[in-house]
Amino acid sequence: MVVAALLAGLAAAAWNDGFDWPCWRGPDGNGISKETDWDAGALAGGPKVLWTADIGMGYSSVAIKDDRLFTMGWVKGKSSVSCLKATTGDVIWQSPYEDFLQPQSTPTIDGDRVYGLRPSGRLFCLQASDGAVLWEKGLTQDFSARRPTQYWATSLVVDGNLLLVNANTLELALDKATGNVAWSIEDTVPEGSWGSYATPVICDVEGRRCALFLGPSVLNAVDVAAGKKLWSYSHQDVMHPVADPIVSKSQVFISLQHSCALLEITGDGSRVLWSSSEFDTWLPAPVLVNGYMYGTHFPHSFYTTTWGGVQEKPLPFRCIDWSTGDVVWQKDMKYVSLTAAAGKLIMLELNGTLHVAEATASSFRELANMDVLQGAKRPRTFATPPVLCNGLIYCRNFAGDLICIDVRKR
């Protein structure tokens, strides 16, 4: 107990780097952390687990600001938004609600408010200090949005005074203070569509603030201030887009279940630079580091409807040349979701093996790895990307185990 208290105190004292991870895929929505002062080899040489917590079942990742961690979980028909102390795992508050499905979305922190989306389609805004409900809206009840086949999983994006929501075939901008509609754009529903689960991505194109909405059949670029659609790209993949677009300068990459493409974008149009079926990431969004993308490829020949099926065989983890779409190298692994920081890849396999590797086009160069469950007989469905924040890596599985791993420099 004395050692645990000492470690917790040291961790709390170290929370002074000023890095936050306030939303899904981080502050820039690209899965990249700006942190450099962490030890990429810290996973080697013994256990580095600082704390663990049971947050309930689900896929919700974590959002972190000022040593407060926010996430969502489900236990016996009831879900809750939980606020934990990021350095110790201690519960600060929980805001419960009834829902029939495990959370699939990640909370978003903006100042003193927390925004989120339940699988049932209920949007909520909570007070960050104590979890008090400030407002709620229903995507289907209040905005007539069409529910995706697998229910709601998109995360929310705050831009200025607006809360942006990819509501399947409806692009929504709400007043973040009230939840009232600022603007909306509706698309046609393609036949056989399973819906869209991707999160909006903000970018600047020719001096205009744009939001990219990857829908069931099209990618839309919308002028955020005016609520005006600037252009659309028809991707013709109706199964269910999940991975968010990736933006680099005037180019945007999208990856679907049966295809991927790199587009050149302008203020009022787009053109395809290349397209292929060699990097169909489908579920886990890739990351872009120094001109190369890294992520899991789902081959067309691979099909399964269960995580057990995914566990049965390896999938190619690939390095892709951004400018050409060429496969530079690949390594067979157990479904990797990832983030990146300081030229390193932080990779979490579905079976709970955490890897740190160089983000390099030369080859797969691993620096260290560990079993985040340290051999424990627990469910091993780690489908949620890891998060690095202030020298701590957070990993969660579907069963609700949240593990905090210390990778701070000593």
Question: What pLDDT does residue 271 have?
Answer: 92
- Would you say 257 and 214 are in contact if contact means Cβ atoms under 8 Å apart? no
Nearest residue to 104 (alpha-carbon basis) of 136, 142, 61: 61
Backbone angles phi, psi at 40, to 5 degrees: -65, -20
Give tens-digit pLDDT for 15-40: 445 689 999 999 999 999 999 999 99
> 140: which DSSP letter?
H
Q: Can you name the residues that pair with 175 across neighbouring β-strands?
A: 162
Quote the number of domains for the chain: 1
Question: What pLDDT does residue 143 have?
Answer: 94
- Would you say 292 and 361 are in contact if contact means Cβ atoms under 8 Å apart? yes
Strands 336-341 and 32-33: parallel
Q: What is the CATH number of the domain that holds 332?
A: 2.130.10.10
State the residue range of the domain holding 318: 2-406
To the question of pTM greater than 0.85 for the whole model, the response is yes
Question: What pLDDT does residue 60 have?
Answer: 97
> 245: which DSSP letter?
P
Question: What pLDDT does residue 238 have?
Answer: 63
**Positions in the chain short of pLDDT 70:** 1-18, 47, 190, 192, 238-239, 267, 301-308, 312
Contacts of 64 (CB under 8 A, 6+ apart): 20, 21, 22, 70, 86, 109, 387, 389, 390, 394
Contacts of 65 (CB under 8 A, 6+ apart): 20, 21, 22, 109, 128
Q: What is the Cα Rg of the chain in Å?
A: 20
